Amino acid sequence: MSTLQQPAAGPTAPATVTEATTTQGDPRARRTRASRKAAQPVDGRKVKRSGLLTAVMVVFVVYSFAPLFYLLVNSTKTQASLLSTFGLWFGGDFHLWQNIVDTLTYNDGIFVQWLGNTLLYVVVGAGGATLLATVAGYGMAKFQFPGRRAVFAIVLGAIAVPGTALAVPTFLLFSQVGLTNTPWAIILPSLISPFGMYLIWTYAVEAIPTELIEAARMDGAGEFRIFFTIALKLLAPGVVTVLLFAVVATWNNYFLPLIMLSDPKWYPLTVGLNQWNAQATGSGAEPIYNLVVTGSLLTIIPIVVAFLFLQRFWQSGLAAGSVKA
pLDDT in tens, the chain (325 residues): 444 444 444 444 444 444 444 445 555 555 555 555 544 554 556 667 788 889 999 999 999 899 899 999 999 988 888 888 888 888 778 889 999 999 999 989 999 999 999 999 999 999 999 999 999 999 999 998 888 889 888 888 888 888 888 888 999 999 999 999 999 999 999 999 999 999 999 999 989 999 999 999 999 999 999 999 999 989 988 999 899 899 999 999 999 999 999 999 999 999 999 999 988 776 677 888 899 999 999 999 998 888 888 777 655 544 454 444 4
H or E segment to which residue 135 belongs: helix 127-142
What sign has the CA pseudo-torsion 305, 311, 313, 318?
Answer: positive
Q: Cα(293)–Cα(298) distance, rounded to whole angstroms? A: 9
Q: What is the pTM of this model?
A: 0.77
Whether the CB-CB separation of 71 and 293 falls below 8 Å is answered with: yes
Residue 301, phi then psi, degrees to nearest 5: -60, -50
Residues in a beta bridge with 45: 42
